Structures are given as C-alpha cells and as structure tokens.
Amino acid sequence: MEFKTLLTSAAIVALSAGFASAQDDAVLTVDGEVIKTRAAAPAFTENLDTVYSGWHFRSGETQVLQMDDFENPAFVFVDQGVDLFDKVDGSEGKACASCHEDVSDFAGLRPTLPRVENGELVTMEDLVNECRTDRMGAEPWKYSGSQMTAVTALIGLQSRGMSINVAVDGDAAPFFERGKDLYYQRVGQLDMACSNCHEDNYGVMIRADHLSQGQINGFPTYRLKNAKLNSAHGRFKGCMENIRATPFKVGGDEFKALELYLAARGNGLSVETPSVRN
C-alpha cells in the first residue's frame, strides 16, 4: 500500500539523516519520478566536486513532505497561482491565460533563467511583470510578493525534473562575472561572503541547522518557518541580514547577477520547484 511504503521510506530517510553529518544518500522521487539532486560540479566551481540540492541537508521529515504533491504545502500556493493565471486584470481585459493558453507550454523555461535579452539580464519575475505592464495594462506585482511567487511557482513547476542549464558565456558573461564577484565578496558586520558558509562549510551545523550549498534549483520554495513561498531574492536578503549586511534591492541588478551565478552553480541539478525547506 502506498501509505505503508511512504512510511517505510520515511523511516529510512530519517535514519540516514540521523547518521549523516552533512548531505545524505537519499533519493528524491516525486510521484515516482526521480529528481536529480546531485550532479558533477560545473567546471567553474573550482572548490566543489559535486553539487547537492538543499534537499539533502534537510531532516527526514522535511524531505518526505516534498515527495508527495498532496503533502507538499507549496501546492496550496500553486493552486492560487492557477487562479491568478486565469484571472483577468488590467486595461486590456486579459489574463495570463489569454495568450498562454496552456501553462504547460512553459516547460523548459525555468532551467534557462535568468538569461540575457537585448543586453539586459532578465529573471522570471521580470518576464511576468513585463507581460503585466506591456501586454495586460496591469500594475506590476511586487517582486517577491505572494502573487508573484504563486505564479512563478506554477510556471517553474512545469519544468520540474528538467536539468538546469543556464548560459554563462556570450552576452551573459559580464553578469556571470559580477555575480561571482558578489559571491566571494565579504560584506557586513560579520564580514562574510556567501562562500564562507555555502562553499567552505556546507554540511556543517549552523546553530540547529545544516548549511546547504545554497543551490536555488527549488525556488520559489515553501519554508516551514514562515509557512509561505519564498523567492530566491527574498532568501538572498535573509542571508545578508543574517551576516549583518545591508541587503541589496530585491529585484535589483546585484541580486539578479547573483541569481545567474547561483543558478549556474547548479547546472546539472533538476528543477525542484516548488521545494520544501525549513
């Protein structure tokens, strides 16, 4: 019976998480489909051999929540995204669904974002808001607001299981370099860079929690601590506040460059959107 196998696997996951000090050996499946949560590190990440999804660093109970779409609390918000996708808004009398009839046409979009268009780095949030202002005649949504994360989760979900494949060369190269500089730049009163935690010390406890590699393949992610979907930029902001730095602007150039660099560090992992973390 499905319930019993789920319980058994939950027990195994919990057991292995108990022994492992860092990333565990569990395998993430969602409704039978295997999600790739570990991959050989891209060539430019000199200090890592393998990249791990943040899923491996969570406790067994949290991991199991992501293995069944009914139990995954993020799907409450994905459902809100479905409603928002069909909701007419703005002066043109259009909804997202007026042009994009089938949301599953977005399969394959999430793994390629952020990307460079006409010399500018664009994220999924930018694309959604561009549609809202230019084609729907509606007010743009707040970059990390609940409506935005609901819709980006819905669109990202269409690509779940596909490998992240963000371009880092050509037009994207200057943004990639900027993101890399930001990643290794020490900031704030604690004088720490992203790399100090997520590259030098991943798998180590930080207070009551395991540090992950800071992969963003599961965003927007449902966090148990605030019971809602969280955008990648919202998470960056939280990290910067934790090291007593003044956060960059959510949706600003710095965070977008950092998002590109972090997404590229996860090249080869599967899209997990919407993931569950603590």
Work out how close the CB of 70 gets to other proteins at its nearest, in angstroms, rounded to a whole number: 5
Determine which one of 96, 99, 194, 239 is catalytic. Answer: 239
For residue 239, indicate whether it is catalytic. yes
Output 87 or 186, the one with its CB closest to other proteins: 87
Our finding on whether 71 is near other proteins (CB under 8 A) is: yes
State how far the Cα of 206 lies from the Cα of 210, in Å rounded to an integer.
6
Our finding on whether 11 is near other proteins (CB under 8 A) is: no
Pick one of 70, 118, 207, 208: the residue that binds other proteins (CB under 8 A).
Answer: 70
Output 124 or 150, the one with its CB closest to other proteins: 150
Our finding on whether 73 is near other proteins (CB under 8 A) is: yes
Our finding on whether 3 is near other proteins (CB under 8 A) is: yes
State how far the Cα of 151 lies from the Cα of 195, in Å rounded to an integer.
30
Phi, psi of 270 (to 5 degrees): -85, 150
Per-residue tokens: 36: 């790739």
Kindly give, in sequence order, each residue whose CB lies less than 8 Å from that of residue 222, ignoring residues fewer than 6 positions away: 72, 73, 74, 77, 228, 229, 230, 274, 275, 276, 277
State how far the Cα of 203 lies from the Cα of 184, in Å rounded to an integer.
19
Phi, psi of 181 (to 5 degrees): -60, -45
Our finding on whether 79 is near other proteins (CB under 8 A) is: yes
Per-residue tokens: 84: 């928002």
Output 1 or 43, the one with its CB closest to other proteins: 1
Cβ atoms of residues 86 and 95 within 8 Å: yes
Our finding on whether 76 is near other proteins (CB under 8 A) is: yes
Pick one of 80, 123, 129, 231: the residue that binds other proteins (CB under 8 A).
Answer: 80
Q: Just list the catalytic residues.
A: 239
* Binding region for other proteins (CB under 8 A): 1-3, 70-71, 73, 76, 79-80, 83, 227
